[in-house]
Amino acid sequence: MSHTVAIARLEAQAGLRRGWLLGLLVLGLLAILLVAVLAAGESGLEQADEFRAGGSAVLLLGGLAAALGLGAGLANRDADGGWYGLLIGAGGSREAVTAGRLAARGALMLGTLAAWAVALQVASAAIGRGLDGPLAVHSLAMAENLLLVFLATALASTALGPVVSAVVGLIVHVTAQALVNLQAAADQGVVGSVARPVIRFTYLVFPREVTSPMISQMQARDVAGVAAPQFEINQSVVEIPAASGGTVLWTLFWCALLAVGVIAAMRRRPLG
């Protein structure tokens, strides 16, 4: 067994015993149960909208909590406290220790999200809607978006404390969404021509939020709830289109870049 795998396995075991993560997982499942109960009282399109809006809110809010919590705890405290030092003093390389911990925490975050996504499908079937394909695709889009937030938070944690790292992760999430919104506004001619090249440049360079077709359509009808409130600029409603394949790949590329950045940042960091 390689050092990275051994460290990842143990880190995942430790993560599964942490009260806050288990509590969050259970809270998300209870919220999904509540969403299903509320949606069961509706029918037709209203039921679909209510169920999907509630489910999307659970994935976004719960997923953000998991991504920020797991990312913010990756490096700072354990690096200063001696855990990294103990593992490196035993013969693990900095790269193996960091990659193992990063992989385990990423897997815990995606696993939590997957548990909620499966619960949503089970709940959808239980209230007579059958399996929900568009919601499954939305769950995948959220997984990519939250992976980006997790990795950005983890990178921040190599230099900053947990709270500030979580704030950085939140800023990355908001910025990635804002870039998509502003580009859509520019495409629809709602922003001035002076700002358009700047928006285009930042849109092309920085990571972007992946918008699923389901949430795009719901947002256009203003029924997406907290997961995607309608976006207005200069008193005009902007329709946010579903992400293209290019955006999916670009954000994945940024995820890979951030993961490499985390490992590189830990190569020279002083350890306790």
The residues binding other proteins (CB under 8 A) are 1, 3, 6-7, 10-11, 13-18, 78, 81-94, 268, 270-272
Instruction: Quote the least distance from Cβ 109 to other proteins, whole Å.
Output: 16
Contact 6, 91 (CB under 8 A): no
For other proteins, the closer of residues 56 and 153 by Cβ is 153
Contact 78, 87 (CB under 8 A): no
Q: Where are the beta strands (DSSP E) in 116-235?
A: 231-233
The token pair that represents 238 in the structure block: 């902007």
Contact 124, 228 (CB under 8 A): no
Element (H, E) at 230: none
For other proteins, the closer of residues 36 and 271 by Cβ is 271
The token pair that represents 184 in the structure block: 């859509």
The token pair that represents 202 in the structure block: 């930042």
For other proteins, the closer of residues 17 and 246 by Cβ is 17
Instruction: Quote the least distance from Cβ 241 to other proteins, whole Å.
Output: 42
Instruction: Quote the least distance from Cβ 163 to other proteins, whole Å.
Output: 17
Widest Cα–Cα separation across the chain:
61
Instruction: Quote the least distance from Cβ 160 to other proteins, whole Å.
Output: 13
Instruction: Quote the least distance from Cβ 30 to other proteins, whole Å.
Output: 23
Q: Could you say which DSSP state residue 75 is in?
A: S
Residue 68's contacts (CB-CB under 8 Å, 6 or more residues apart) are: 149, 150, 153, 166, 169, 170
**Three-class secondary structure of residue 237 per DSSP:** strand
For other proteins, the closer of residues 7 and 255 by Cβ is 7
For other proteins, the closer of residues 52 and 105 by Cβ is 105
**Three-class secondary structure of residue 236 per DSSP:** strand
Instruction: Quote the least distance from Cβ 17 to other proteins, whole Å.
Output: 4
Residue 209's contacts (CB-CB under 8 Å, 6 or more residues apart) are: 145, 173, 176, 177, 179, 180, 243, 251
Contact 108, 70 (CB under 8 A): yes
Instruction: Quote the least distance from Cβ 1 to other proteins, whole Å.
Output: 7
For other proteins, the closer of residues 4 and 183 by Cβ is 4
Instruction: Quote the least distance from Cβ 25 to other proteins, whole Å.
Output: 15
For other proteins, the closer of residues 22 and 122 by Cβ is 22
For other proteins, the closer of residues 94 and 200 by Cβ is 94
Residue type, 170: L
Question: Which phi and psi angles does 236 have, rounded to 5°?
Answer: -120, 135
